[in-house]
Amino acid sequence: MGERATRVAEVARNTGETQISARVDLDGSGQSAFDTGIGFLDHMLDQLARHGLMDWAVTAKGDLHIDGHHTTEDTGIVMGQALRQALGDRKGIRRYGHAYIPMDETLVRVALDISNRPYLIWKVAFTQDRLGAMDTELFKEWFQAFAQHAGLTLHVEVLYGTNNHHRIEACFKGLAKALRHAAELDPRAAGALPTTKGML
C-alpha cells in the first residue's frame, strides 16, 4: 500500500491593510492556533478546526483601528486559498458534504460542494449589530471570501433560532462537519476524480 500524500498547505498575503499567514493540514486532529486580533472570530475559527478535524494555524495583523472588515475578509481569503492548495488535484475526495447542527434552540443546515465553482447562499440573519467586538455583518464577508477562494459552492441557512451567538456558532460548526466529510478521501473512490467532466 502506497504512502498517503500529505495534504498540507501554507499561504501568506501581505497588503497595505493586512498581513496574514495560514497553514492547514486537512488530515489533522483538530488542533488550532488562531490570532486575528478579533477574539470572537478566533473563537469561531477554532470551531472550524476542532469539528472539521483539520489543523489550522492562522495569524493576522490588520487595520483594526479602522474596523474589522479587512482583517475578517482577508482571513477568509487566505484560509480559502490554503484549503484549495491542500486539496491538490482533488482526486479521491468525497466532494459533497452536509450537516444539520442543533445548538440549544437553534438549528442550522450547511451543504457544500468542492466544485471549483464558488457560490455562496447565505440565509442567516441577526438581531444584534455586534457579538463581542465583531460586527455581525462581517460573518457573511468571511464565508463569502472563504467559499470564493477555496472554490466551494456553499449554502448556509439558519432554519430557526433566537440566540445570535448560537446562530453563528452553529454555522461554523456546520461548515466544519460538512467540509470534513467532503474533503475526506473516499476509500471506494481509489483516487478517482469525482466528476463526469474530467476536471474540477
Residue 4: predicted pLDDT: 55
Q: Which residues of the chain have pLDDT under 50?
A: 1-3
The rounded Cα 95 to chain-centroid distance in angstroms is 15
Q: What is the pLDDT of residue 3?
A: 43
Quote the pLDDT of residue 190: 80
Statement: the pTM of the whole predicted model exceeds 0.75: yes
Distance in angstroms (rounded) separating the CA atoms of residues 37 and 34: 9
Helix ranges restricted to H, 3-157: 39-52, 69-87, 138-150
Helix-strand-coil percent breakdown of the chain, rounded to 5? 35, 30, 35
What are φ and ψ of residue 161, in 5° steps? Answer: 140, 150
Pick the CATH number of 8-183 from 3.30.230.40, 3.30.70.20, 1.10.3720.10, 3.40.640.10: 3.30.230.40
Q: What is the reported pLDDT for 2?
A: 40
d(CA 138, CA 71): 10
The sign of the dihedral angle between the CA atoms of 30, 175, 24, 180 is positive
Helix pair 39-52, 164-183: axis angle to 10 deg: 40
